[in-house]
Structure 1
Amino acid sequence: MAITSRDQLIAALANSRHGLFDKASISNAVAGRFYSLWRATGQPGQGAIPAAPAACTKGLLGSLTFENQTAPLTNYLAWVDVASSLATSTLEIHDRLCHQAGLVGNVATPQTTNLPLTLAGIEPERIGLADHSQLQWWLEWYADTGSTAVTATVAVTYSDDTSGTVTVPLAATSRAAGLYQLLPAAGKSGIKAVDSVQLSATSGTAGNFGVTCTRYRAGFFTVVANKAEVYDWASLALPQIANDACLALIQLCSTTSTGVSKGVVRFAVG
Structure 2
Amino acid sequence: MPITTRDQLIDALANGASRIVIDKGSIALGSGSAGQYASLWRATGTPGQGAIPGAAEVCTGALVGALPFANQAAPRRSYLAWLWAVSSASATTLEIHDRLAHMGGLNLSVTSAQTVGVDVQTLGVAADRIGRADFSDLQWWYEIYSPGGATAANATFTVTFDDGSTGTLNPLAVGGSLAAGRLFSLDGLRTAAQQGRNIRGVSSVTLSASTGAAGSAGITVTRPRTALPMPLANFSNVADWAQLGLPDIPNDACLFPVIIPSSTSTGTLRGGGKIVHG
Provide the TM-score with structure 1 as the length reference.
Answer: 0.96
- Pick from 200, 205, 208: which aligns with 2:213? 205
Q: Does 1:193 align with 2:201?
A: yes
- Pick from 163, 181, 184: which aligns with 1:180? 184
Equivalent position amino acid for 2:9 in 1: L
Cα distance in 1 for partners of 2:98, 2:14 equals: 25
Hey, what does 1:132 align to over in structure 2? 135
Matched-pair contact (CA < 8 Å) for 2:35–2:262: yes
Equivalent position amino acid for 2:11 in 1: A
How far the C-alpha of 1:86 sits from its partner, in A, is 0.6
SS in 1 for 2:114: coil
Q: Does 1:40 align with 2:43?
A: yes
How far the C-alpha of 1:178 sits from its partner, in A, is 0.8
Hey, what does 2:23 align to over in structure 1? 22
Q: Does 1:244 align with 2:252?
A: yes
Equivalent position amino acid for 1:256 in 2: T
Aligned residues between the structures: 268
What is the percentage of aligned positions where both structures have the same residue?
47
Hey, what does 2:6 align to over in structure 1? 6
Hey, what does 1:101 align to over in structure 2? 104
Cα distance in 1 for partners of 2:50, 2:213 equals: 23
RMSD: 1.2
Cα distance in 2 for partners of 1:23, 1:166 equals: 33
Cα distance in 1 for partners of 2:148, 2:251 equals: 36
- Pick from 234, 258, 263: which aligns with 1:255? 263
Equivalent position amino acid for 1:224 in 2: L
SS in 1 for 2:220: strand
How far the C-alpha of 1:17 sits from its partner, in A, is 2.2
Matched-pair contact (CA < 8 Å) for 1:218–1:236: yes
- Pick from 83, 90, 94: which aligns with 1:91? 94
SS in 1 for 2:75: coil
SS in 2 for 1:125: helix
Q: Which runs of 5+ in 2 are unaligned?
A: none
Alignment of 1:57-72 (within 5 A): 57-72=60-75
Q: Does 1:54 align with 2:57?
A: yes
How far the C-alpha of 1:88 sits from its partner, in A, is 1.0
How far the C-alpha of 1:171 sits from its partner, in A, is 5.3
Provide the TM-score with structure 2 as the length reference.
Answer: 0.93
- Pick from 212, 222, 235: which aligns with 1:227? 235
Cα distance in 2 for partners of 1:49, 1:171 equals: 19
